[in-house]
Amino acid sequence: MFKPLLTATLLLLSPTLYANDTRQTQLDTLVQSYAQENNQTGILLLENKHGDIHKSASGLADREKQILIKVDDMFEIGSASKIFTAIAVFQLIEDGKLSLDTTLDTLYPTRKIQNLAKYKGKNYWNKITVGMLLNHTSGLVDYLNVYGNDDKAIDVFTKKAKIYTFESIIDLTLDFGEANFKPGEQFRYCNTGYLLLGDIISKRSGMDWHDYIQTHIFDVVGVKHTYFGTRISKPLRAQMPKGYNKSHPTHMPMSLASSAGEMISTLSDLNILINAWKEGKYYKNKSTLHTQLTQGFHTMDPKIKAIIYGYGIMKVGDFYGHGGQTFGFQSYVTTNPQTNTTYIVGTNDAQVRSLNLFLKAANIQISY
């Protein structure tokens, strides 16, 4: 508690503190309300406006033990990981090891994996490009979403002892049948494409993709609380909030997510990572970031014109970033280069929408 004299001194030296306190109160109220609306799901929110950072947390990290979630807790970010897979790809493009037009037949000349591109009796493997994998226009089957139902997918894939490899996921995808459409004809979200991109990073960099991203992205900005789910230690994993689906505890094998979504991080680390990207710190050339911000976009859903998808990023209004969902968490990581505003959201229930909280916090209205 502040003493009256100290409060008066602070007012004299920094009148903006009251405005900051008001915004913190507003965000705390918003987050508490969102947690209550969603059965006390653990909710995390960071807002960064011109360097003024506010973090808020509410709800339960562990329902069984009634442990509250904390602002510095780690959480699974799911498909928000795709931003960093895409950054790694663009770094390799800058180094001349890839291009957006590199076709998969030049990367995978063997026959089995090429069957992913069969469509109506014809194989289109030589037509699928790295750019199509990045912006989900390849037509490939999405191995994680073939069931069309989250509960069914969780039931099928939730096996704690199961270790998924690149080869086993490719085999799994092939079992689901032929591609959805000819390459480049339309947009359809596809985790299989980002699984391939991780393997392509390994092929063209000469490093395992985990190590490449660690070295060329995480270590560049010095984040200390960002991990890959397949590499995090058991003690650190035990400190994390539990993941839920409709308030029921669940678990996602991180090897299943792979380069499509196995990152674990914190509000503060994600704030550092996404802002470093916005400022071009991962690239040698300004044109690389410009390409990501301006090219390759497609409407994700014809009914929602306000949300479009480019090369590893979602664009909502003037915000660029990505949402994520695992079997027990949701996330949203986004930044606005024009206003220098960033939002990071995490929830520990797969059905509690992180995007909605971002829209509320940023006062953005879109039609569904």
Structural domains of the chain, ranges and CATH numbers in brackets: 72-315+340-362 (3.40.710.10)
Residue-level pLDDT at 15: 41
Count Cβ atoms below 10 Å from residue 6 Cβ, excluding itself. Answer: 10
| Cα–Cα distance measured from residue 209 to residue 166, given in angstroms and rounded to the nearest whole number | 12
Residue-level pLDDT at 156: 84
Give the DSSP letter string of 332-368.
EEEEETTTTEEEEEEESBTTS-HHHHHHHHHT-----
213: left (phi over 0), alpha (psi -120 to 50) or beta: alpha
Q: Which two tokens stand for residue 268?
A: 């503060």
| Cα–Cα distance measured from residue 269 to residue 65, given in angstroms and rounded to the nearest whole number | 27
Count Cβ atoms below 10 Å from residue 17 Cβ, excluding itself. Answer: 12
Residue-level pLDDT at 92: 98
Residue-level pLDDT at 296: 98
- State in Å, rounded, how far the first CA of the chain is from the last one: 44
| Cα–Cα distance measured from residue 124 to residue 67, given in angstroms and rounded to the nearest whole number | 51
Residue-level pLDDT at 168: 94
- Please state the pTM of the whole predicted model: 0.93
Residue 237 φ then ψ, to 5°: -60, -40
Residues of the chain with pLDDT below 50 are 1-18
- Structural contact between residues 114 and 178, judged by C-beta atoms closer than 8 angstroms: no
Residue-level pLDDT at 9: 29
